[in-house]
Chain A
């Protein structure tokens, strides 16, 4: 299947721990209140491992990777 892999955050679950931004600084920054701002871009293959780690380590279980069609 053609498509892209994106990181999505459930904003109702996210409590701003900020772990994701530490594990995936190339793709996630934190706003001034500590909540993630996720780049609107495909996750490149080299970052996929780190992205999976960020998803698994989110204390609020708010992050997920989503395969999205073009």
Chain B
């Protein structure tokens, strides 16, 4: 099976998959198992431990959960850790501005689950987990999909569904491990990698659901096909959640290297948020010159992260938007680590002061003192990511901050722009 696929690629490089170019992951409408099998066939099992790792190395696939870590390296670490590994599909997209994983699970669950089976085969796992939010219809649909695949004997390894609480940090890798072990979904401090010592001490391969869908396609159509999209450094397609200045959010499948201005109405925006709430604000004029890739974003201090791009319209105030999000991030601290527990609420309070009118001298002095005090001092990257977001706002909205100090705000529309959960912050103990 694998050989046939490889030959097909050599002779027809553009048509190895039969998929529309650039539209690999997201079908226009959800596919049934039968439709999925007609389109892609059964999962392209290799029949051998580790056999997929070289293909993934050649493909250059990186994780799509935010960290962009090379998938083959994570798999190799799991393989060399010894013992019986476990695999987990991470679909607990806690970022309120991100919808790509939910969309993918609703439209192409079979690609994700094929990828999970192939990942299990590659590392020799006998147990697999699907870690998702309990979101009414989608979670019921996924239960039905898993039952159907089991009955059709598509899956070789049983998949258990574990639900994540609706919290920002629930999808963090060590929080996933904690939750699947039966504990609360809070990050933990672990000197050892999850790949070596994860769920119940077993070497654990955790991959984002989009990453797994790419794995399913690479196993079927090969690394050269995968590299037909994207850039040599960042091959393949990627899902992104786009918030245009003009209106409603949408999830798109795009490719690294695409100009940001092709995805977003940058001219209608004053600033662009890249990567989500642990991400970076960029001036719209700068974003208009950049391509969507980590290579292009790195010199700007930004990264693709969870694939969120938001264009802040001219009628909103960036200072107020930042203050709202920082309050949310402070409320979403798991409260385990002193610097995060103490620092983030104070940073949020200070930004609330900046968002009001009046003198800022004391607030600015505090922010400068705290600017790098929280970095690297939590068990997870919540303080680092939140402070990166705050620092970028401080630079990009510098003029607005000065206006506020003089009692003037350029925002004419006080309706919130960046999405936050509608509910009040959850109780401290509500992590399972």
Q: Is the CB of B191 within 8 A of A11?
A: no
Contacts of A8 in B (CB 8 A): 191
Q: How far is the CA of A66 from the CA of B336 in the complex (A)?
A: 22
Interface SS of A by simple majority: loop
* A35 touching B379, Cβ below 8 Å: no
Given contacts A11-B378, A12-B379, contact A35 B336 (CB under 8 A): no
Contacts of A15 in B (CB 8 A): 338
In the complex with contacts A11-B379, A12-B379, A35-B189 CB distance below 8 A? no
> In the complex, how many angstroms separate the beta carbon of A15 from the nearest chain B beta carbon?
7
A28 to B353, CA, bound (A): 32
- Using a CB-CB cutoff of 8 Å, which residues 12-45 of chain A contact chain B? 12-16, 31, 33-35, 37
B188 at interface by CB-CB < 8 Å: yes
B373 touches A31 (CB 8 A): yes
Dominant secondary structure of chain B at its interface with chain A: loop
Q: Are A10 and B338 in contact (CB-based, < 8 A)?
A: no
A34 vs B336: C-alpha distance when bound (angstroms)? 15
In the complex, the answer to whether B377 meets A12 with C-beta atoms within 8 Å is no
Are B343 and A11 neighbours in the complex by a CB distance under 8 Å?
no
Asked whether any CB of chain A lies closer than 8 Å to the CB of B77, the reply is no
Contacts A8-B191, A12-B189 hold; do A37 and B338 have CB atoms under 8 A apart?
no
How many chain B residues touch A (Cβ–Cβ < 8 Å)?
14
Q: Let me know if B338 and A35 touch, CB within 8 A.
A: yes
- Nearest Cβ distance between residue B377 and chain A, in whole angstroms? 6
Q: Is B379 a contact partner of A14 (Cβ separation < 8 A)?
A: no
Q: Which residues from B are CB-within-8-Å of A33?
A: 338-339, 342-343
User: How many residues on A have C-beta within 8 angstroms of the other chain's C-beta atoms?
Assistant: 14
The closest CB in chain A to the CB of B366 belongs to A32
* A5-B85 Cα distance, complex, nearest whole Å: 31
B189 touches A10 (CB 8 A): yes
Task: Give the residues in chain B near A66, CB-CB below 8 Å.
Answer: 191
Flag B351-391 by CB within 8 Å of A: 1 or 0 each: 00000000000000000000001000111000000000000
- Cα A35 to Cα B339 in complex, Å, equals 7
**A31 touching B337 in the complex, CB below 8 Å, given contacts A12-B189, A13-B189:** no
Interface flags, B210-243, vs A, CB<8A=1, else 0: 0000000000000000000000000000000000
The chain B residues found within 8 Å of chain A, CB to CB, are 188-189, 191, 336-340, 342-343, 373, 377-379
A interface residues with partner B (beta carbon < 8 Å):
8, 10-16, 31, 33-35, 37, 66
20 residue pairs of the A-B complex, CB under 8 angstroms, read: A10-B379, A11-B336, A11-B338, A11-B339, A11-B377, A11-B379, A12-B336, A12-B379, A13-B189, A14-B338, A16-B338, A31-B339, A31-B373, A33-B338, A33-B339, A33-B342, A33-B343, A35-B339, A35-B377, A66-B191
